[in-house]
Amino acid sequence: MSRYVPLTHLHDPSVDRFVPREWMAGINRLFRFNRNMPSCLVAVTEPISMAPNIFNTIPWDSVLLDTDGMFDPQTSPTQLTVRTPGLWWATWGIVYGLTSDTTLPRETRCFRNRQEEMIQAVNEASNDRFYGPTRGFMAYLEDGEFLELDVWLGSSGTSNEEVSAPFFFGMYLLASPTLEAQP
Amino acid sequence: MTLPVDLDLIHNPAALTVPPRAWGEAIRSNFEARLGEPIAEMARFTVSVPNNTATVIGFPGGASLDTDNMQDPAINNDQITAQTAGMYLVSAAVIFPESTPGTAGYYWSLRLQLNGVDILPINQPSISGLSRRLGLNVVRFVPMNAGDYLRLSVLQNTGASRTASFRFSAWRVGPITPTTGFAYADLDTIQQLGFGDVAEPGLGDQIRTNFQSLANRPICVLGKSGTQNIPNDGTFYDATWTTEVSDAFGMHSLVAPDNDTIQLARSGLWLVVGNIVWATESTGTRSLRFYTNSTFTSIDPFFFETLTFAPGAENHGASFAMMIRSKQAEAMVMQVRQTSAVSLNLQTNCQLGVVWLGE
Contact B21 A14 (CB under 8 A): yes
Pairing state between β A134-141 and A86-93:
antiparallel
Cα–Cα distance list, B90 to B76, B137, B224 (Å): 18, 11, 19
Q: Average pLDDT in the A13-21 region?
A: 52
SS (H, E, C) A80-125: EECCCCEEEEEEEECCECCCCCCCCCEEEEEEECCEEEEEEEEECC
Contact B304, A93 (CB under 8 A): yes
CA B276 to chain CA mean position, Å: 14
Which tens digits make up the pLDDT trace of A100-155?
887 778 888 899 999 888 777 777 777 777 777 888 999 999 999 999 999 988 88
pLDDT string in tens for chain B (359-residue length): 344 555 555 555 544 456 666 666 677 777 777 777 899 999 999 899 999 899 999 999 999 889 899 999 999 999 999 999 999 999 999 888 766 666 666 778 889 999 999 898 877 766 655 566 778 889 999 999 999 999 999 988 888 888 899 999 999 999 999 999 888 887 767 655 444 455 566 677 788 788 888 889 999 999 999 999 999 998 889 999 999 999 999 999 999 999 999 999 999 999 999 998 888 887 777 888 887 765 444 444 455 566 565 555 566 788 888 898 888 998 889 988 888 889 999 999 999 999 999 98
For chain A, the helix, strand and coil percentages under 3-state DSSP, each to the nearest 5: 10, 40, 50
Query: Which among B184, B194, B307 has CB closest to A21?
Result: B194
ipTM over 0.95: no
Which has the closest alpha carbon to B124: B284, B307, B340?
Answer: B307
Region at A174 (left for phi over 0; alpha for psi -120 to 50; beta for the rest): alpha
Give the gyration radius of chain B's Cα atoms: 23
Chain B: closest CA distance from residue A179 (Å):
8
- Closest CA of chain A from B348, distance in Å: 22
Strand-strand pairing, A39-44 and A62-66? antiparallel
Which residues of chain B neighbour A87 with C-beta distances below 8 Å? 39, 41, 64-65, 169, 171
Q: Phi then psi for B30, rounded to 5 degrees?
A: -65, -40
Q: Which of A19, A126, A129, A169 to mutate to test the interface with B (most CBs of B within 10 A)?
A: A19
pTM here is: 0.90
B residues 214..243 contacting A (CB < 8 A): 214
